[in-house]
Amino acid sequence: MRILRTALLLPLALTVLTGCTPADEPLAALAIRDGEPTVLLVGCDSGPASIHVREDSTMASASPRPTRSATTATPGGPSAGPSGASTTGSPQWSLHTDRAQPVNEIPLLDADPPAGWIVDESTLGRIEPGIWYGISAYGRRDAHPVRFDTDAFAKLDGEHVLAPVSHRKQEIMTRAEFERDAKEACPSS
């Protein structure tokens, strides 16, 4: 009887012990700053973070969620090979920091990012009309992806951003609303 009970309880115990990865949160947005597209990332702490922008060929279909290969942020991100280079085959722009600020503003595709940020890969040279792109961000908490094309730029200004409200839904909202919602999504330390 004892062996049977152990056999039945062991899978449950292992599930509890391994835990689960926290759900993605609305921590990243697309903004326009000084006329240039910019990624906003709310850091839940001052730990490591990474941002990745890729062509998003999934927009023509059901837009499946990007997958992660690890539960912690890595400088190369979820589809980086050993050298930090993309293993997806599609052009991308990715960068990382060891100390994210409370609110990070990163000009899209900037070869000279803000202090503390390091470009890992820059094979995505420009944002083209008619092509969908995805922004993924990882850190203490992972961000819902932001999907966009160049038509989104005309709808944004210094006060409005394109931000996810769930995994499959995003909307234009004020920057203040985005920052408030993102900070509320960060767990208390």
Note whether 51 and 124 are within 8 A (CB): no
Give dist(CA 158, CA 8) in Å, integer.
57
Tell me the chain's radius of gyration from C-alpha atoms: 18
Residue-by-residue pLDDT tens, the chain, 189 positions: 566 454 444 444 433 333 444 556 768 999 999 999 999 998 887 789 999 999 987 654 433 333 322 223 333 444 443 334 444 578 999 999 999 998 999 999 998 999 999 999 999 999 999 999 999 999 877 888 999 999 999 999 989 999 998 878 899 999 999 999 888 888 765
Give dist(CA 101, CA 104) in Å, integer.
6
Closest by Cα among 96, 95, 100, 98 to 46:
100
Give dist(CA 168, CA 161) in Å, integer.
17
